[in-house]
Chains A and B, each alone.
Chain A
Amino acid sequence: KAGVTQTPRYLIKTRGQQVTLSCSPISGHRSVSWYQQTPGQGLQFLFEYFSETQRNKGNFPGRFSGRQFSNSRSEMNVSTLELGDSALYLCASSYGQASYEQYFGPGTRLTVT
């Protein structure tokens, strides 16, 4: 079974632009979560979706948004990029409504210049 896939793997954007990152969960998994990883702040939770519904959201500004599609694929969008948004963005998927095994993808490395 294929693992969690994220596209693109690397991205370079300019301050002020917007970006969309994509995540395809493991087949059959219906929950998708997003995390931001930076050297200074570590791993921080962005949001979690189950069956197209956002169930929890982390403490990030409104420039960060996400959605989940009916096939469980998810996208996250960051508008008006800032230098501090440079990070590794990780997506994780899990099976059911209360599944506790979260499997991570390889991440998207975003660099904002």
Chain B
Amino acid sequence: GEDVEQSLFLSVREGDSSVINCTYTDSSSTYLYWYKQEPGAGLQLLTYIFSNMDMKQDQRLTVLLNKKDKHLSLRIADTQTGDSAIYFCAETHDYKLSFGAGTTVTVRA
């Protein structure tokens, strides 16, 4: 079965890097995702990584995948106030996404 876990809260100072961690259990997942949700909005696809990759970089975002430990992380460089949101890790299997509970990131001045 699928089970995605992530820490619930992260507080970071503006300009610092944020690292959000996630563990998953379904080793057959082909892709792993990071979504962002701002208050009152839907989910925004931030980035995703194919399971045969170790790292993916996209502007300020860096995704690291450790398949052996089933660990996924998202690093946001130079965190800004607009990065305050809930971040969801997700894995895909049989045409569905299984999400973690979400990490609430608060950026303080």
A residues whose Cβ falls under 8 Å from a Cβ of B: 4, 31, 33, 35, 42-43, 45, 48, 50, 55-56, 58, 90, 92, 100-107
Q: When chains A and B are docked, how far (Å) is the Cα of A48 from the Cα of B35?
A: 19
Measured as residues with beta carbon below 8 angstroms from the partner, the interface class of chain B is: 20 to 34
Question: Do the beta carbons of B99 and A42 come within 8 Å of each other?
Answer: yes
Tell me the dominant secondary structure on chain B's binding face.
strand
Q: Which of B16-24, B39-47, B54-62, B63-71 contacts A (4 or more CB under 8 A)?
A: B39-47
Q: When chains A and B are docked, how far (Å) is the Cα of A58 from the Cα of B48?
A: 23
Query: Could you say which residues of chain B place their CB within 8 Å of the CB of A106?
Result: 41-42
Tell me the dominant secondary structure on chain A's binding face.
strand
Is B11 close to A, CB under 8 A?
A: no
Question: Do the beta carbons of B45 and A58 come within 8 Å of each other?
Answer: no
Q: When chains A and B are docked, how far (Å) is the Cα of A17 from the Cα of B98?
A: 29
Residue of A43, A58, A100, A105 near B92 (CB, 8 A) is A100
A-contacting residues, B65-101, CB 8 Å = 88, 92, 94-101
Instruction: Across the A-B interface, give the 10 residue pairs with the lowest CB-CB distance, nearest first.
Output: A43-B99, A104-B43, A104-B42, A45-B96, A100-B31, A106-B42, A48-B95, A56-B95, A107-B42, A55-B95
Q: When chains A and B are docked, how far (Å) is the Cα of A104 from the Cα of B94?
A: 18
Seed contacts A42-B100, A92-B97, A106-B42; 9 additional CB < 8 Å A-B pairs: A33-B95, A33-B96, A45-B97, A55-B94, A55-B95, A56-B96, A100-B48, A104-B35, A104-B45
Q: When chains A and B are docked, how far (Å) is the Cα of A92 from the Cα of B96?
A: 10
With contacts A42-B102, A43-B88 taken as known, whether A102 is within 8 angstroms of B42 at the C-beta atoms is no
Question: Do the beta carbons of B101 and A42 come within 8 Å of each other?
Answer: yes
Question: Do the beta carbons of B92 and A48 come within 8 Å of each other?
Answer: no
Could you tell me the distance in whole angstroms from the C-beta of A70 to the nearest C-beta in chain B?
A: 19
Question: Do the beta carbons of B99 and A102 come within 8 Å of each other?
Answer: no
Query: Could you say which residues of chain A place their CB within 8 Å of the CB of B96?
Result: 33, 45, 48, 56, 58
Question: Do the beta carbons of A50 and B41 come within 8 Å of each other?
Answer: no
Could you tell me the distance in whole angstroms from the C-beta of A108 to the nearest C-beta in chain B?
A: 10
Name the residue on B nearest A55 (C-beta).
Answer: B95
